[in-house]
Amino acid sequence: MTPVPAVGVVCLKGDEVLLIRRGKPPRMGEWSLPGGRIEAGERAVDAALRELGEETGITARIIGLIDVVDGIFPEAGRHYVLIDYVAEWTGGVPIAADDAAEAAFMSVEAAMLAVAWDQTRRIIGAAVASRATEPSRRS
């Protein structure tokens, strides 16, 4: 398996997080973060916003880098190096497109229950925690 650079986006709208139901392997049918492969010559942050728009029709502003995760899926013969960002929703209504079978904003609590992969749950939790510690959000 050759590692493939990819991005994921935790898009937050108030107290909700945007998830997609995967329409293709790996983890087909599971709820996950919008994202996908970085194209040749494309900056990772640009890929994150492009993938977000392609899969969900949502626009957002990247507010930070969360983590880099190895997604190794031997059953699908794939190894992704996932660069995960946190973003703030700026517009649009979720519409599933491209690789997504469904797209929806849901409460963080519902998202944590819907997502099967522990790494995705960890990334969502880290994104929510990082937003809570932003100086403009503290009172």
Asked if residue 106 belongs to a domain, the reply is yes
CATH assignment at residue 121: 3.90.79.10
Query: Is 19 part of any domain?
Result: yes
Provide the 3-class DSSP secondary structure of residue 97: coil
Angle 54-83-126 from CA coordinates, rounded to 5°: 105
* Residue range of the domain that includes 92: 4-134
- Total domains in the chain come to 1
Instruction: Express each pLDDT in 34-61 by its tens digit.
Output: 999 999 999 999 999 999 999 999 999 9
Torsion of CA 39, 17, 24, 60, to 10 degrees: -30
Residue 35 falls inside a structural domain: yes
The reported pLDDT for the residue numbered 139 is 40
Q: Is residue 139 part of a domain?
A: no
pLDDT at 137 over 60: no
